[in-house]
């Protein structure tokens, strides 16, 4: 009696009323309600569990004694700074070689053209092309040392990674250039880094570089290597201002005919110089050694090792600019773990790296790029 009084006070229907209500429903409605209840029950039973943070999110770091306010992550089993994750991967060159050795010639770089099937380059193919390109650069006068700076002016594509690896194979230094740099910033970087050779993806970028040479603004630039096909007029224009224009294939062929033994770098050697866009003055260059980059992604692996374990079946979709270090970190981690850096626009990656600006500005439907089959 007390329960019925409570139900009346809450104005809720009694059990008899509910029973009579369901008896009066047609069979199709009852089936629909049952199906809905089953779906809800299944969702509650199978929904993803919340990921437990690896540490107290209110206290993720601690102060290091004697270092004037410096702090370190509380995640880790030692107060010592982490320099590497594996003993056989202490430079960017060794990182790739490790992926090569454990992949058994598995897929490395993937790409596709619009409405075409995916194509893959194996680790062996990438290593061979990188060594050929690097040998071609040496044959044309580049030095296998950290005093040799090579510009890479391209969007994400397999040739970007191949160009970078070619530099690392012979201890040269990569200097990324990117589309959002204005003409003044590009001129400044080419001169500041003393870049004599730039590897471009498209002829338009080669023309931008030639504009500076013709105005005698970048006197040190003497060679432009293009990934895409180009017209003969571009070669003639370069010849008139003292710049050699070549295709990437031509340089690789030269390298295959004149092989040079790899000159691997050391962890303390310079690997890459990343320049800012120069919005508050001249671009600033961050000089990163191989040890810097390896320590960075090793820290990421250490922090996430209890949360996620990558496998050789995983694929990384590369859409953030390779000219920026965040995407470089993800790429290096993928190569080291023998994942496949998938340089295209649609696949099913288990991990999607992003930045807040994209998450805030892109429509949700555009973020679901991994939900459809090729």
Q: Are 267 and 335 found together in one domain?
A: yes
* Within a domain: 147: yes
Task: Report, as an integer, the average pLDDT of 258-287.
Answer: 90
* Within a domain: 343: yes
* Within a domain: 38: yes
Q: Is 326 helix (H, G, I), strand (E, B) or coil?
A: helix
How does strand 71-73 pair with strand 285-289?
unpaired
Is residue 230 over pLDDT 60?
A: yes
Q: Is 161 helix (H, G, I), strand (E, B) or coil?
A: helix
Give the range with max mean pLDDT: 133-137, 290-294, 356-360. 133-137
Domain range for residue 27?
16-47
**Is the whole-model pTM more than 0.75?**
yes
Tell me how far apart the alpha carbons of residues 198 and 151 are, in angstroms, rounded to a whole number.
Answer: 4
Which residues does residue 197 pair with via DSSP β-bridges, in sequence order?
150, 223
* Within a domain: 269: yes
Task: Report, as an integer, the average pLDDT of 230-245.
Answer: 96
Q: Are 99 and 235 found together in one domain?
A: yes
Q: Are 132 and 250 found together in one domain?
A: yes
Is residue 259 over pLDDT 50?
A: yes
Q: Are 207 and 96 found together in one domain?
A: yes
* Within a domain: 7: no
CATH code for the domain of 282: 3.40.50.12780
Query: pLDDT tens digits, residue range 38-94?
Result: 888 888 888 877 777 778 888 888 888 877 888 888 877 777 778 888 899 999 999
DSSP 34-86: HHHHHHHHHHHHHSPPPPPPSS-TT--EEEPTTSTT-EEES-SS-SSPP--SS
Q: Are 38 and 183 found together in one domain?
A: no
Q: Are 163 and 299 found together in one domain?
A: yes
Q: Which residue has the tokens 């990117």?
A: 178
Tell me how far apart the alpha carbons of residues 235 and 245 are, in angstroms, rounded to a whole number.
Answer: 5
Query: pLDDT tens digits, residue range 102-132?
Result: 888 888 888 888 888 888 899 999 999 999 9
* Within a domain: 230: yes
Q: Are 157 and 277 found together in one domain?
A: yes
Say how many domains are in the chain: 2
**Exposed, middle or buried by CB within 10 Å (0-12, 13-18, 19+), for 125?**
middle
């Amino acid at each position: 009696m007390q329960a019925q009084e409570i139900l009346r006070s809450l104005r809720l229907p009694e059990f008899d009323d509910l029973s009579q209500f369901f008896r009066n429903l047609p069979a199709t409605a009852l089936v629909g309600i049952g199906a809905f209840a089953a779906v809800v029950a299944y969702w509650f039973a199978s929904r993803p569990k919340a990921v437990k943070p690896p540490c107290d999110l209110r206290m993720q770091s601690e102060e290091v004694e004697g270092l004037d306010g410096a702090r370190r992550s509380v995640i880790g089993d030692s107060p010592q700074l982490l320099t590497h994750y594996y003993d056989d991967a202490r430079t960017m060159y060794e990182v790739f070689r490790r992926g090569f050795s454990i992949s058994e010639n598995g897929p490395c770089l993937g790409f596709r053209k619009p409405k075409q099937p995916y194509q893959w380059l194996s680790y062996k193919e990438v290593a061979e092309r990188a060594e050929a390109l690097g040998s071609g650069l040496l044959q044309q006068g580049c030095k296998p040392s950290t005093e040799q700076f090579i510009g890479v002016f391209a969007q994400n594509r397999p040739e970007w990674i191949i160009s970078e690896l070619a530099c690392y194979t012979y201890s040269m230094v990569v200097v990324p250039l990117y589309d959002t740099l204005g003409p003044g910033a590009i001129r400044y970087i080419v001169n500041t880094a003393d870049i004599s050779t730039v590897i471009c993806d498209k002829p338009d970028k080669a023309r931008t570089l030639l504009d500076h040479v013709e105005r005698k603004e970048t006197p040190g630039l003497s060679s432009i290597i293009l990934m895409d096909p180009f017209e003969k007029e571009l070669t003639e224009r370069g010849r008139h201002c003292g710049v050699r224009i070549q295709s990437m294939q031509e340089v690789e062929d030269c390298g295959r005919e004149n092989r040079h033994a790899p000159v691997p770098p050391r962890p303390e050697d310079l690997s890459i110089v990343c320049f800012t866009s120069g919005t508050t003055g001249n671009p600033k260059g961050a000089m990163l050694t191989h040890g810097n980059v390896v320590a960075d992604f090793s820290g990421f692996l250490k922090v996430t090792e209890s949360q996620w374990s990558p496998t050789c079946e995983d694929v990384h979709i590369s859409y953030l600019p390779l000219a920026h270090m965040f995407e470089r970190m993800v790429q290096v981690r993928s190569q080291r773990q023998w994942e496949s850096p998938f340089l295209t626009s649609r696949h099913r990656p288990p991990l999607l790296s992003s930045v807040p600006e994209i998450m805030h500005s892109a429509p949700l439907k555009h973020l679901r790029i991994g939900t459809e089959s090729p």
